[in-house]
Amino acid sequence: MNERNEAVIRTAEDIAAMIPGILSERNVQAEWEVYVEAGRNGSFQIENEELEKAQRRFYSGVGLRIASGGYVGFSYATGLKHGRRGVEELVRKALALAKLGEVEFHGFPAYSKAPAVAGVYDRRIDEIPFEEAYEMAEELAGYMRDVKPSDEYILSGGVSLAVRTVGVMNSNGVEAVESRTMMKVSGYTVKKGERPGDGYSFQTYRHLVSPEDMEGIVRKSLEDAKKNSEASKMEGYTGEIALHPHALASILSVFLPNLMGDSVYYGRSRISRVGEAVASDALTIRDDARIEGWPGSYSFDGEGAPGQSTVLIERGEVRSFLLDETYARLLGMKSTGNGLRGFRSTPEIGTSNVIIEPGKESCRDPDVPMVVKVFGEHTANPVSGDFSLTVDLGEFRGRYFKDNMLTGNVFDLLRNISVIGRDPERVGNFSSPVVISRARIV
């Protein structure tokens, strides 16, 4: 156990030791949960091929949930050192807010062993000196200058490195601590001139990546900017389309809220029960927190529940919802370990790693329009499923297109999937091959 792990778990233990006595003095019987977090991140911003900004941030804090009178109250404080007076104030605030609770409390998680997930921590990220990370970002900026084709192009991007240790302890015997690292590399290219264009590429990792990997991300943004500059609006089209993983990730973000337990419980979801057919029988989707080394992986969630591999859709039918402890109990189900949080907030249901299972066909060169990137998914309505997204880049029969609108309904699109490719690509914590369905391009 490293020093940060020890500090986090020691803080949780110290606070947990004080809470029963403080509650007893108030004649309160209650369940409680202590969440402790400490971390550091360094970010390096490159503008116009020059390293313009470098900063480092440290943070730590404690979140306390107390269940009293059938509801939960929450309070938090920054830092790891809290004496009895500070803990008494945390308890007082949490109890006061419990009186204003709106969601009925049915219990915090009970102890359940959370097997460690490999590859969520890389000591090299944790221990890299700031000066060495700075030099790495400067080298990336130098690479941008080297590959810049002409003065028409402007290359930017960034590198960020982070380490985060979280600990959870509750009155039901949960006790867990884990350090997690993260690295993100991005490239953004703008082409000026008579045929302007832009391209953006990024990737996230749990481990320190090589210069070659970082350079590949810059090259991808440059290639996309060139393609974007050659693109023009295509004629209207209705029929089969191919969706690249980048575009599919945006579209799926409209659908996934329908699988979240709170949306189901409050009737904000189009889906009401497990077993419901919502997609083509070619489609299987899972949420998997246990994939070694992936950016969304973790051994336990923000409540201490073990991270799991959960099949959400199997051959077109709903097999599970995404659940934290609260909404699992309200729906008469079991938590899927998807309660995500920081110390300043209570758990919220979210995804870990989302995977669309590959098929058996090759979709490398489909004879239908390929939509590569879209934007505007935040304007779509998850309940109706209707979307109208701007095409940032597409390709059809050797020509590129952009500035069209991809319109349709996400439920219809999933039901109309006819082919799922066999070659998946990871985009952050989402992985999918190319998928063919039906939609409209206007």
What is the per-residue pLDDT across 304-356, written as a single tens digit (0 to 9) for each?
Answer: 999 999 999 999 999 999 999 999 999 999 999 999 999 999 999 999 999 99
At residue 378 the predicted structure's pLDDT band, cuts being 50, 70 and 90, is: confident
pLDDT at 4: 81
Cα 225 to Cα 393: distance, rounded to the nearest angstrom? 10
Contacts of residue 150, defined as CB under 8 A and 6 or more positions apart, other chains included, come to none
Mean pLDDT estimate for the chain: 96
CA 411, 417, 419 angle in degrees (round to 5)? 160
Q: At residue 1, does pLDDT exceed 80?
A: no
For the 3-230 domain, the top CATH level (class) is alpha beta
Mean pLDDT of the 110-130 span: 94
Spell out the long-range contacts of 25-29 with Cβ–Cβ below 8 A and sequence spacing 24 or more: 26/91, 26/95, 28/68, 28/95
Q: What is the predicted pLDDT for the residue at 363?
A: 79
C-alpha 257: how far from chain center? 13
Mean pLDDT of 118-130: 97
289 pLDDT band (50/70/90 cuts)?
A: very high
Cα 41 to the center of its chain, rounded Å: 17
Structure token digits, residue 271 = 């889906």
pLDDT over 80 at 42, yes or no: yes
* 3-state class (DSSP) for residue 187: strand
Cα–Cα distances (Å) from 4 to 71, 91, 166, 167, 239, in that order, read 33, 25, 9, 10, 55
Q: Which amino acid is at 121?
A: Y
Alpha-carbon distance of 370 to 397, in angstroms, equals 9
Q: What percent of the chain has pLDDT over 70?
A: 100
pLDDT for 366? 82
Residue range(s) in the chain whose domain bears CATH number 3.30.2290.10? 3-230
pLDDT digits (tens, 9 = 90+) for 185-234: 999 999 999 999 999 999 999 999 999 999 999 999 999 999 999 999 99
Residue 176: pLDDT above 80? yes
Check residue 88 and report its DSSP letter.
H
Query: Hey, what are 267's tokens?
Result: 């009737």
383-411 core/surface letters (b: 16 or more CB in 10 A; e: else): eebbbebebbbbbbeeebbbebbbebbbb
For residues 255-260, give the mean pLDDT.
97
The model's confidence at residue 5, banded by pLDDT at 50, 70 and 90, is confident
Q: Which amino acid is at 249?
A: A
Contacts of 7 (CB under 8 A, 6+ apart): 38, 80, 165
Q: Are 162 and 178 in contact (CB under 8 A)?
A: no
Point out the least confidently predicted range of 3-12, 57-66, 94-103, 417-426: 3-12
Looking at the DSSP bridge assignments, the partners of residue 31 are 67
CA distances from 277 to 250, 261, 263, 421 (A): 22, 17, 18, 21
Separation CA 138–CA 366 (nearest Å) = 40
pTM here? 0.95
